[in-house]
Amino acid sequence: MAKIIAGVGSSHVPAIGAALDNGRTEEPYWQRVFSGFEKSKEWMAKTRPDVAIVVYNDHASAFSVDLIPTFALGCAAEFPPADEGWGPRPVPVVKGHPQLAAHIAQSVILDEFDITVVNKMEVDHGLTVPLNLLCGRKEPNEEWPFKVIPLAVNVVMYPPPTGHRCYMLGKAIKKAVESCREDLEVVIFGTGGLSHQISGPRAGLINSKWDKTFLDNLTRDPKKLTRIPHIEYMREAGAEGIEMVMWLIMRGALDEDVNEVYRFYTVPASNTAVGHIILENKRRPAAKGKRSASPTKRAAQVTKLAVRRSKR
Ligand SMILES: [Fe+2]
């Protein structure tokens, strides 16, 4: 059976991708940001999920004002990096998991979440920067260490979904994953934020106190966060702070009780507060390689044992 084992929250600041791509990670400004993800890379290498569901928003790369799906699930076999105006990022093509993605699409739609199914899509920094932060730099001819199911959320054009709707979609995704018979360990990412505003008179706004309270509640009392209206995100966390509703999809897909295994927060990175959190479900399946055998395998083992005993 498939299972969501952990959630990762991570900002997806485009300048982080540019720093990586242009070899600037050792500069003191960027070193401060990247050093906060060293432990996360170790955690990811140890966790070795089979699939990551990455909740992110498209920044007018795959979609435009011509087409604005509220929730768009990537069901393709692969998702090339998008050209965001200066050529595609030099990162590997993202490989999907069409079977699990189709299963999730069917389950959540029958659960009354009318998501858009996307069978062809390019992915931008919103998805690839968090992958880099958790997996390190990868050349285009390498592979990401797990399959990825992109879930694009509209937080660019009004109206974005409410935090409560996002949280409930997370719960529907959890139910969908847990009803998949394939033996898969899944990690879910919520990306974007934290507080930032990139234009207008309040450009450069950062509200660390509000961000940190959000992170505290994400672990301990996510339902409280589901009651935050759009206007409060805008007022307290800036116009682009609304991206934080995507973290509630990740949180909704986890168990009620989670262990916060890591947190990192730094300001600024390109006028944005960088936030990061790793939450693990307390009920974890056995470690890889030590997983209990399937019922069929167990039956075969019992038969072998019985035959061996009868020969003694
Ligand atoms: Fe963004």
Q: Within 13 Å, how many C-alpha atoms sit on residue 148's CB side?
A: 27
Element (H, E) at 268: strand 258-269
Pairing of β 147-153 and β 116-118 = unpaired
> What pLDDT digit, counting tens, does each position of 263-279 carry?
999 999 999 999 999 99
Residue 137 is predicted with a pLDDT of 96
Distances (CA, A) of 9 to 30, 89, 103, 125: 19, 22, 24, 15
5 pLDDT band, cuts 50/70/90, is very high
Helical axes 245-252 vs 163-178, angle rounded to 10°: 30
Q: Kindly give the distance from the C-alpha atom of residue 247 to the centroid of ligand 1, in angstroms, as a whole number.
A: 12
146: left (phi over 0), alpha (psi -120 to 50) or beta: beta
The whole-chain average pLDDT of the chain stands at 92
**What does residue 235 show for φ and ψ, rounded to 5 degrees?**
-70, -45
Q: Kindly give the distance from the C-alpha atom of residue 298 to the centroid of ligand 1, in angstroms, as a whole number.
A: 47
Residue 295 is predicted with a pLDDT of 39
Q: Kindly give the distance from the C-alpha atom of residue 69 to the centroid of ligand 1, in angstroms, as a whole number.
A: 16
Q: Which residues are catalytic?
A: 125, 196
> What pLDDT digit, counting tens, does each position of 57-99 carry?
999 999 999 999 999 999 999 999 999 999 999 999 999 999 9
Q: Kindly give the distance from the C-alpha atom of residue 243 to the centroid of ligand 1, in angstroms, as a whole number.
A: 7
> What pLDDT digit, counting tens, does each position of 180-237 carry?
999 999 999 999 999 999 999 999 999 999 999 999 999 999 999 999 999 999 999 9
* Residue 186, both tokens: 């899944």
Q: Kindly give the distance from the C-alpha atom of residue 258 to the centroid of ligand 1, in angstroms, as a whole number.
A: 26
> What pLDDT digit, counting tens, does each position of 15-55 carry?
999 999 999 999 999 999 999 999 999 999 999 999 999 99
In the three-class reduction of DSSP (H, G, I as helix; E, B as strand; rest coil), residue 177 is classed as helix
pTM of the model: 0.91
